[in-house]
Amino acid sequence: MSGRWRRRRTGPKATGARRDDPAESPCRAPASGAWSPGNRRLARTPEPLTESVQASVRIRASLPSPPDRAGPAMRFATLLLLALLAAPASAQFGNPTTPCPTGTAEVRLPGVRVDAALFTNGNLFYGNETTSDDGYLTRFSGSADPTPLLFAANLWLGGTVQGDIRTAASRYDFFKFRPGLTGPDGVPPTPEECAAADRIWMVSRDDVASYLGGGIPTDDLLEWPVHLGAPVLDGDGIEGNYDLGAGDQPAIRGDVMAFWAMTDTAAERPDSEAPLGTDVTVEAFVLQNAQFMTETFYRLTITNRNDVPLTEAFSGVWVDPSSYKHYLASDTTDQALYYYGPDEDDETATRAYGFVVVEGPEDAPNSRDDDGDGTVDEADERLGLSASLNYYNGVGPTADPSTSLELYRALSGRWLDGTPIYEYGEGYGHPTRRITTVVYPGDPISSAFWSMPNTDGSGSTTPEGARRSSLGSGPFTLAPDASTTVTFAMVAATGPDRAAAIRPYLAKARGLRQLAADGLLEPSRVTSVSQPIPPALTVTRPAPNPFTGATALTFTGVEGARLTVAVYDALGREVRAPLAVETDGAVEVGDGLAPGVYLVRIAGLGFEEAFPIAKVH
């Protein structure tokens, strides 16, 4: 394995609270109560007895003691009645008999221009000894040093089990997930099983190509954990196994992929909380693609391990950015929650970054256009960004959530006290305004509608500051042992100013969702030696500009970018129809134009750029 993929298995788990965040309440020691340790699933406090059960109880109470010489039929009927009455009304997960400790595995996911720390407890970019704002680094084009974008993040899940709200969600510590999977018999993994699963396997298409060319396989390629649900491309005709020598391959998404498995049934919790009862496997991957060299992806396979349905469920991500100077926006068209710079004169204005719901969970028809494609409830429609929230320092209903109820409310787009989000202002405490489930959905470029540059509709701005945030996608339902998948992407873009950073960010968000819709994020077999990383897409703006006769753009790295170039006049009218750019080289944009100012727009898969040109006499 390459040294840059070195696995770190040692070091204490992160215990420090965020430097600008109130410390989380420590886990309370288990005490006697409704959720006592002992069984993997414990009967909850009994529901009120139905009329039929009450009648059975009355019948049982009135039965005389069986005679010493009761016949077989009488004994059988009595035992059957006692067994039925003793059966719990429902079976759910409680605290495990022997909880698993927090996992310590860690790897760095290496992209072409991005590097991300991964862990096995639901935490991302922050954990173990990676606590110094070095867990998510992006190398933007033209920058010699990597830029820290995210201080910490966490994968969140929440839902209801027979009406009881449960979550598997944390922030900086007290993680609710543990490495490993619940057994097929519904028993949580033991500490020994958790320890064996406390590993992140990393493979690449180059690893497979090297092996096919006669090289020695890496440990992770050789030991791909099919027993934990790691996906396999079958090559030996035997389903469910993994035999590299017989033709099986890891089902690699992207070009480099990490895999791990975790469950929320094995962690100790306070008596007031119960596990959500889910197993989650994660495929984190990167693309060696000219348009998406700064992006990372996280595909979750979520399985309900309860004996009853998981309902009103949400999947999401909580985020703490590195910068203290930022604004926040939600985009329900491109399914994104992202940060951008508040000050046009500051370097933060040149960056836009945040998470995109590439593919949300599947759910039953709901009469909504969840994926924003103009069609309601079509086959295989997936949910998108359904909720977002931002958190302020201090205490109160707009501070960071900590209890299971608060976390679930955040996932579903409500403040910590259950109050809805109201449009404008900070989104809290204005019941006469329209209710929504996302914060700041307005356009931050034009300052239209409710955005941080226009909080009241009259141009008032929001003070800059440290803001954590979360997004949610749901609700969805999972039957017992049923699964669904969700894919999030961390997307970043840069430009000379705020608008020039936000536009390519949103173009990337659209491009990634299009890649997913076209099936281009699905795994494929490696059949030949590895290919060199393609050059990054670059556009050299027209020169000269202003010009008198003709002027041209120059492109490199256009393969697969699906680029078009169009020209518009000062009134926004198209004066040159979009021209497809399929090869590297120059594209003339000024010949034949009358003197005046024009706008050149370049669009493609995950790419968008616009700039003026001027033709003079």
Tell me which residue has tokens 């900070």.
426
Tens of pLDDT, residues 333-370: 999 999 998 876 666 668 999 999 999 999 877 777 77
Element (H, E) at 279: strand 278-286
Residue stretches of the chain with pLDDT short of 70: 1-91, 344-349, 371-372, 529-534, 606
Record the tokens describing residue 224, joined without a space.
């791909």
Q: Taking the complete model, does pTM exceed 0.85, yes or no?
A: no
Whole-angstrom CA distances from 562 to 491, 521, 557 are 19, 17, 11
CA distance 124 to 122: 7
Please tell me what DSSP assigns to residue 348: G
Q: Which helix (H) or strand (E) holds 259?
A: strand 256-263
The closest alpha carbon to 154, from 402, 327, 341, belongs to 402
First to last CA, the chain: 62
Distances in Å between the alpha carbon of 564 and those of 430, 574, 601? 45, 13, 8
Closest CA to 256 of 436, 158, 118: 118
Tokens at residue 577, please? Answer: 């129809």
Q: Could you tell me the fold of the domain covering 538-615?
A: Immunoglobulin-like (2.60.40)
The Cα–Cα gap between 246 and 268 comes to 42
pLDDT attached to residue 98: 93
Phi, psi of 189 (to 5 degrees): -65, 150
Q: State how far the Cα of 251 lies from the Cα of 240, in Å rounded to an integer.
A: 13
Give CA–CA dist 215/210, Å, rounded. Answer: 5
pLDDT at 465: 73
As separate numbers, helices (DSSP H) first and strands (DSSP E) second, the chain gives: 7, 32
**Angle between helix 72-86 and 51-62 (nearest 10):** 140
Q: What is the location of CATH 2.60.40.1930 in the chain?
A: 538-615
Rg (CA), the chain: 28
What lies within 8 Å, CB to CB, of 69 at 6+ separation is none
Taking every pair of Cα atoms in the chain, the longest distance, rounded to a whole number of angstroms, is: 118
Residues near 287 by Cβ (< 8 Å), separated by ≥ 6? 111, 254, 255, 293, 295, 297
Ranges of beta strands (E only) in 480-536 are: 483-494
In eight-state DSSP terms, residue 21 is S
